[in-house]
Amino acid sequence: MKKVINILILTLIAVSCERNTDILGPSLVDRFGPFSVFEAFDASMYNVDFSVNQTVEFTATFSKQVTWEVHIVGQLSGAEKVLTGLSNRIDAANGGVWDGTITKLPMFKKEPCFAYLYIDDVDTLFIDTLSNLINVNETRVLDGFIVTDWENGVNDGFNVFVQSGADMRFDTVNDITGPEGSVFYETSGDVGFSDDLGNISMPKSSFTDSNFTLSTNNEIVYFNVFAKKGPNAVQDIYVFQFMEDDNDDGVYNPGDDDLHEYVINSGLTQDWEQYVAKYADLVTTNSGGGGQKNPDKLIQMLVLPIGVKEPFEGFLDYLVFTENGPLVP
């Protein structure tokens, strides 16, 4: 019996001392070994048409896992897209695909773009630039119903009222670095006797995309606008009013119809930003039609720049409604 017990103990010791050779996670060499490039940085195409859903796939292979960034920069607009990942290979499976979207405004235009690879978690900073420019032959087709993009000036049917004041300017600005297209709108001036610089009345019948009806579900309808302030701005406020025709008589009447508002009263910077308001979250300021938010009843918009009796310098671009989510620029 003693001999059997000894054999059992030796067997257990032998089993417990066997090494587990399975690798859990990346090897030390894969994370901390020397860095080298096995496959050079490259792109799948150098002429791309995003309007037909073409994409650009970037590729590269390294000796170990690294945190990498691929930057694509528009040569005319200054637009930029940054792709990032942690891997030893850049490809479609690891986030190396550009679909024409941006990381930060402005949006890309029809323009040449340069792309470079940036890796900074290795002993020596590694940067590699594509030898050829990537030409954007056509930009993405954006979803949504456009109120105005200003590309052809102020829409026929819009009515612009401007207070008399100092250095008043309600007009378009031609600049390819604008957030969308190459034209945006400026509302600037100093009105000492009033907070209201003026307003822009926008009947739905004069929208750039006028032949549409928004969903009856106010939870899925979004209003989007790009905006920024200028260096001379003191306190810029934008009020967007949404007038409904709740009784279907073809006009907005305060006694019979609702009016809702979205206000940008803080957060404007000197960089273009996207501002989004869900229709369900608009603030009702007149409830003549019952106080319900009915996107499908929208008949007119009014844009009011408010300067609080201080110099105002503000810019707007690409007013657009989207459904099922905000605009993806």
Residue 40's pLDDT band, with cuts at 50, 70 and 90, is very high
Higher pLDDT among residues 192 and 61, named by residue = 61
Q: For residue 81, what are its two tokens?
A: 């897209």
Can you give the pLDDT at residue 123? 86
* Single pTM value for the model: 0.88
Can you give the pLDDT at residue 263? 98
Can you give the pLDDT at residue 235? 87
Are the C-beta atoms of residues 153 and 170 closer than 8 Å to each other? no
- Report in angstroms the alpha-carbon separations of 209 from 21, 147, 212, 226, 321: 64, 6, 7, 18, 10
Q: Is the pLDDT of residue 124 over 80?
A: yes
Domains and CATH numbers, the chain: 28-138 (2.60.40.2550), 145-323 (2.60.120.260)
140-159 mean pLDDT: 97
Can you give the pLDDT at residue 30? 59
Across the chain, what does the average pLDDT equal? 91
Can you give the pLDDT at residue 7? 36
Q: SS3 for 19?
A: coil
Residue 105's pLDDT band, with cuts at 50, 70 and 90, is very high
